[in-house]
Amino acid sequence: MKINLNNRLLAVANMIPKGHVVADIGTDHAYLPIYLIQEGISPRVIATEIKQGPYKRALITVRKAGLKDFIEVRLGSGLKVLEAGEAGIAVLAGMGGETISSIIREARPVADSMEFMVLQPMQNLPNLRKNLYDMGYKIIDEDVAIEGSKYYVVMAVCCQIPEPFDDIDITVGPVIRRKKTPEVLAYIRRKIEVIEGLIESMKTINTAPGQKALAKHEGELEMWKEVLK
Ligand SMILES: C[S@@+](CC[C@H](N)C(=O)[O-])C[C@H]1O[C@@H](n2cnc3c(N)ncnc32)[C@H](O)[C@@H]1O
């Protein structure tokens, strides 16, 4: 059984250098671990799941792929199922930014023992970046994957003294703001379109909270436009 990853998980895999034991937290179907082994990127993967259903699904997929000796599936919450030093790279993909922040916060010694972590948040990216900076992590790389009309951000973070950051680093991203790949540029343009649409639809709202939200979106729009200059 050969695994072909979608663009989102492929962007995650592309951030993982060869030769490291990887912990895939919240693995679900275990596609990423199987790909990492099949492609010779990782010698061993620890795949973890908090829920019984996906845990069993992962066990079955790993067995069907004949990779039981290379992928260990563990049941439990976040990074707490690992000892510091068991893996060099942790992946937290396909989860909300708040969930990713909590998983890291709840197991700092394990998170800090990683060479780096690859995060692929589905929502709340600015909050996640702010939390990472507050916890003392540095965002060392970011990329964008496109799947049809959907855009996904992938980031690599490590425990290092973060450089000073500003609102654009939080909202757009410290690497994305400087990257000019076609995917990143398409992502920025799409963001601008979405925020402009929101602003247009809010212009008739005259309540104080509505005006506050409008001002917030206008501030964000300026930041996204600024990085396109
Ligand atoms: C949407 S799936 C993403 C699966 C895969 N990582 C991907 O990116 O395609 C999110 C998975 O994370 C698991 N999950 C959520 N919170 C978790 C936690 N604290 N520890 C381990 N797994 C968790 C869920 O059970 C679910 O299977």
Ligand 1: which of 32, 49, 79 to mutate, most ligand atoms within 8 Å of CB?
49
Instruction: Tell me how far the alpha carbon of residue 200 lies from the centroid of ligand 1, in angstroms.
Output: 36
Atom 9, ligand 1: residue with shortest CA distance: 94
Residue 159 has pLDDT above 90, yes or no: no
Query: Rounded mean pLDDT of 99-122?
Result: 98
Residues 62-98: tens digit of each pLDDT: 999 999 999 999 999 999 999 999 999 999 999 999 9
Ligand 1: which of 12, 27, 104 to mutate, most ligand atoms within 8 Å of CB?
27
pTM: 0.97
Strands (E), 44-186: 45-49, 71-75, 89-95, 116-121, 137-147, 150-159
Atom 23, ligand 1: residue with shortest CA distance: 26
Instruction: Tell me how far the alpha carbon of residue 229 lies from the centroid of ligand 1, in angstroms.
Output: 37
Q: DSSP 3-state helix, strand, coil percentages of the chain (rounded to 5)? A: 45, 20, 35
Phi-psi group of 138: left, alpha or beta (phi > 0 → left; psi -120 to 50 → alpha; rest → beta): beta
H or E element at residue 25: strand 22-25
**What number does the ligand 1 atom closest to the CA of 94 have?**
8
Beta bridge partners of 152: 145
Distance CA 24, CA 47 (A): 5
Instruction: Tell me how far the alpha carbon of residue 195 lies from the centroid of ligand 1, in angstroms.
Output: 29
Residues 131-150: tens digit of each pLDDT: 999 999 999 999 999 999 99
Class of domain 7-168: alpha beta
Instruction: Tell me how far the alpha carbon of residue 33 lies from the centroid of ligand 1, in angstroms.
Output: 13
Q: Is residue 118 very low, low, confident or very high in pLDDT (cuts 50, 70, 90)?
A: very high
- Please state the domain extents for the chain: 7-168, 185-228
Beta bridge partners of 75: 49
Give the pocket of ligand 1 (CB within 6 Å). 9, 25-28, 48-51, 54, 77-78, 93-95, 99, 103
Q: Is residue 29 very low, low, confident or very high in pLDDT (cuts 50, 70, 90)?
A: very high
Atom 2, ligand 1: residue with shortest CA distance: 94
Sheet holding 45-49, edge to edge: 71-75, 45-49, 22-25, 89-95, 116-121, 150-159, 137-147
**What pLDDT does residue 162 have?**
74
